[in-house]
């Protein structure tokens, strides 16, 4: 398999600099205002030089970078550029797995030959993104998703890196890398591993599997040790699988303990899922919430909608209900990854309680919500960039 990972560079901030040429080369911080209670969504590379990073409180960002330009998010603009980018991705593979609005995996196993070689394919994709979106992206190529993700981080921003494909070469490449480069190793897990002397992938490659199980648990130990060798057996979604569900995930740069930050991230994911879902005439019967902690323990919760749904309001209500039950206010927890998706898809709405007087009140309410979501989608498409 040949997997290509695309990561749009400082995406929100890059779109702002594209639309405001006078901001190019300056520290742009997208998120809450400098004196508001809120967090940084993303920031330009100029701001990162001051120590600013995503999920940081905006007041802290201001203290680090008082000359930064603080910009409220314009999700409609970012979504518009994302839609163009995903259209570009489809030119290089029929198998595109969107991770978020600015990140995707492509299975290019069957299309590399159309472009000559991997490097040519990747360079053409990067050039087309720059031409049609006006922003840059970083690309990694590898034999699986884990390694492709790691590869795309090697030459950021606006870079390309091709990972070794031979097992011995992969092991040698990963050996000196810090353990935190691996999926499933957040700050908490990295601290536990460091306590026992495991700081690099080589340390994990040479570790006693039984001892790792004792300190991490069997599931996390097996997964993390496999990752240290570059082994990732997670399947790539096929076109058929893509039809059965629509989902989005977000991995935090560091383990996140702020409940409101996680909640707002999930609300953004719901909006992304809704817009992508409504590209086709379909309804979902079930919504799913995913939370993954630093130890690679994954919690999945799901519930059925009262009626098949395709609007943001219904999706949002179900997600918030699941989230509040799993993480009630006042409870402490750390999460590394969050996700939301809809599944159990049907091609028509249903009203289980028809009457002589027409559709039920619930069905009428759903139709109004659908019209509102469709109107907002259309408005976002018409707004100038």
Residue numbers annotated as active site: 103
Q: What is the 3-state secondary structure of 316-370? A: HHHHHHHHHHHCCCCCCCCEEEEEEEEEEEECCCCCCCCECCECCHHHHHHHHHH
> Residue 100 in contact with residue 248, Cβ under 8 Å?
yes
Strand partners, 104: 6, 98
Angle 218-228/209-216 helices, nearest 10 degrees?
130
> Residue 136 in contact with residue 9, Cβ under 8 Å?
yes
Alpha-carbon distances of 5 from 138, 162, 210, 278, rounded to whole Å: 8, 11, 33, 25
- Nearest alpha carbon to residue 136 among 59, 62, 44: 44
- Phi and psi, residue 291, nearest 5°: -130, 130
Contacts of 124 (CB under 8 A, 6+ apart): 92, 115
Contacts of 65 (CB under 8 A, 6+ apart): 27, 29, 47, 50, 51, 52
Radius of gyration, CA atoms only, the chain: 22
Distance of alpha carbon 138 from alpha carbon 169, whole angstroms: 22
CA dihedral sign of residues 369, 374, 375, 381: positive
Distance of alpha carbon 311 from alpha carbon 268, whole angstroms: 14
């Amino acid at each position: 398999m040949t997997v290509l990972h695309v990561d749009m560079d400082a995406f929100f901030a890059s779109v702002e600099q594209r639309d405001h040429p006078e901001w190019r080369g300056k520290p742009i911080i997208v998120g809450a205002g400098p004196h508001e209670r809120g967090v940084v969504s993303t920031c330009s590379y100029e701001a990162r030089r001051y120590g600013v990073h995503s999920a940081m409180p905006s007041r802290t960002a201001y203290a680090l970078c008082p000359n930064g330009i603080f910009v409220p998010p314009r999700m409609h603009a970012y979504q518009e550029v994302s839609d163009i980018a995903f259209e570009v991705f489809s030119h290089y593979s029929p198998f595109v797995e969107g991770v978020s609005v600015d990140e995707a995996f492509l299975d290019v196993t069957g299309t590399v030959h159309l472009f000559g070689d991997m490097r040519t394919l990747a360079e053409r994709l990067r050039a087309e993104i720059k031409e049609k979106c006006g922003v840059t992206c970083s690309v990694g190529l590898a034999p699986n998703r884990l390694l492709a993700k790691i590869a795309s981080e090697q030459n950021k921003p606006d870079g390309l890196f091709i990972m070794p494909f031979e097992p011995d070469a992969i092991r040698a490449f990963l050996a000196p890398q810090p353990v935190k480069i691996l999926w499933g190793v957040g700050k908490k897990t990295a601290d536990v591993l460091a306590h026992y002397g495991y700081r690099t992938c080589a340390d994990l490659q040479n570790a006693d599997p039984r001892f790792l199980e004792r300190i991490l648990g069997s599931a996390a130990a097996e997964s993390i040790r496999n990752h240290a060798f570059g082994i990732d057996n997670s399947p790539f979604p096929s076109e058929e699988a893509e039809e059965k569900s629509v989902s989005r995930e977000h991995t935090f740069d560091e383990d996140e303990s702020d409940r409101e930050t996680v909640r707002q991230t999930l609300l953004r994911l719901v909006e992304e899922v809704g817009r992508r879902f409504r590209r086709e005439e379909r309804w979902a019967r079930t919504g799913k919430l995913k939370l993954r902690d630093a130890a690679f323990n994954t919690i999945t919760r799901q519930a059925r909608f009262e009626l098949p749904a395709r609007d943001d309001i219904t999706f949002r209500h179900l997600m918030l209900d699941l989230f509040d039950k799993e993480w009630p206010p006042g409870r402490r927890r750390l999460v590394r990854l969050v996700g939301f998706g809809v599944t159990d898809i049907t091609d028509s709405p249903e009203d289980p309680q028809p009457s002589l007087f027409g559709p039920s009140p619930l069905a009428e309410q759903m139709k109004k919500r659908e019209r509102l979501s469709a109107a907002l989608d259309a408005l976002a498409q018409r707004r100038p960039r």
